[in-house]
């Protein structure tokens, strides 16, 4: 069973989520209304889900054909799979990604691409964004996106949680740690730690992970709690090793 819906945050962030019961996992795609009235997309979702996403967004007032920019946080089906369908609707579309990922996208999809630079702000479709490279979390070309105007971090697979996308009471850290340990999707806690230390410097009020609920009220505690987990895990490795 699949269920899907669009939620709107801070008036400018539209999140389409497709929840797959069998996996107990949700997949989110984010559409940002910029100050110039443009719409940009972060994470395309999978190709098979494109028609559902398109109609969900249309009901929420967003026509996917008007999207000029797509940001791909890493080269994986849920992050970029539907890119050909975006291009079919808009030939002028530009895809933004880590340099390694942008070469792959240009080669495979014949799409215009622009490589992002680590922690160098860039204006895309009227919105200032800061790409933060998160090497090997969990792909070598991974990055997350910080939007200063909204104090929002689009964290891709960092802070992922199993279960529905609705916010729930309680400490997100335990659920995030359980998701890391159950899925084995992280190649290295050391790289996660490095990414979290980079992320921590930014003034963040919202975290929008691709999988699982948004984090709003306890952002700093969640980042610190995960850093603590990484440090404990590394200590354990040292002691055991
Ligand atoms: Fe991924
Ligand atoms: Fe993912």
pLDDT for res 208: 98
Partnered with residue 156 across adjacent β-strands are 209
Q: Where are the domains of the chain?
A: 2-240
Q: Considering only CA atoms, which of 68, 10, 7 is closest in space to residue 205?
A: 10
Tokens representing residue 231 in the block: 């440090």
Instruction: For residue 106, report the distance from its CA to the centre of ligand 2, in Å.
Output: 21
What CATH class is the domain 2-240?
alpha beta
- Which secondary-structure segment (H or E) carries 13? strand 13-20
Q: Report how far ligand 1's centroid is from the alpha carbon of 160 (Å).
A: 10
Q: What per-residue confidence (pLDDT) applies to 55?
A: 97
Taking alpha carbons only, the member of 80, 83, 148 closest to residue 111 is: 83
Q: For residues 21 and 233, what is the distance between their CA atoms, to the nearest angstrom? A: 31
Residue list, CB under 5 A from ion ligand 1: 76, 157
Q: Using CB atoms within 10 A of its CB, is residue 92 exposed (0-12), middle (13-18) or buried (19+)?
A: exposed
Which among 142, 131, 160 has a CA at the least distance from the CA of 40? 131
CA angle 9–224–234, rounded 5-degree value: 130
Average pLDDT over residues 8-31: 96
pLDDT: is 104 or 188 the higher one? 104
Per-residue pLDDT, averaged over 233-239, amounts to 63
Instruction: Tell me, in angstroms, the distance from the centre of ligand 2 to residue 76's CA.
Output: 7
Cα gap 73→80, rounded to integer Å: 8
| Strand, helix or coil for residue 122 | strand
pTM of the model: 0.95
pLDDT digit string (tens) for 91-130?
999 999 999 999 999 999 999 999 999 999 999 999 999 9
d(CA 229, ligand 2 centre) in Å? 21
| Token representation of residue 112 | 């215009």
End-to-end CA distance of the chain: 43
């Amino acid at each position: 069973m699949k269920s899907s819906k669009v939620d709107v945050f801070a008036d400018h962030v539209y999140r389409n989520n497709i929840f797959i019961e069998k996996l107990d996992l949700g997949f989110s795609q984010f559409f940002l209304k910029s100050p110039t009235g443009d719409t940009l997309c972060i994470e395309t979702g999978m190709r098979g889900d494109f028609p559902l996403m398109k109609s969900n967004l249309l009901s929420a007032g967003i026509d996917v054909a008007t999207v000029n920019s797509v940001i791909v946080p890493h080269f994986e089906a849920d992050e970029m799979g539907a890119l050909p369908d975006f291009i079919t609707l808009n030939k002028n579309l530009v895809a933004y990604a880590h340099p390694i990922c942008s070469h792959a996208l240009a080669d495979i999809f014949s799409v215009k691409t622009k490589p992002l630079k680590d922690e160098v702000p860039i204006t895309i479709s009227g919105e200032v964004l800061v790409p933060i490279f998160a090497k090997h979390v969990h792909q070598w070309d991974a990055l997350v996106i910080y939007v200063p105007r909204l104090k929002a971090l689009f964290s891709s697979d960092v802070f992922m949680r199993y279960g529905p996308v609705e916010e729930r009471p309680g400490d997100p850290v335990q659920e995030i740690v359980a998701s890391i340990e159950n899925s084995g999707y992280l190649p290295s806690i050391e790289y996660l730690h490095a990414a979290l230390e980079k992320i921590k410097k930014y003034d963040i009020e919202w975290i929008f992970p691709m999988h699982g609920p948004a984090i709003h009220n306890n952002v700093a505690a969640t980042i610190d709690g995960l850093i603590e987990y990484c440090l404990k895990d590394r200590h354990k490795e040292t002691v055991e090793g």
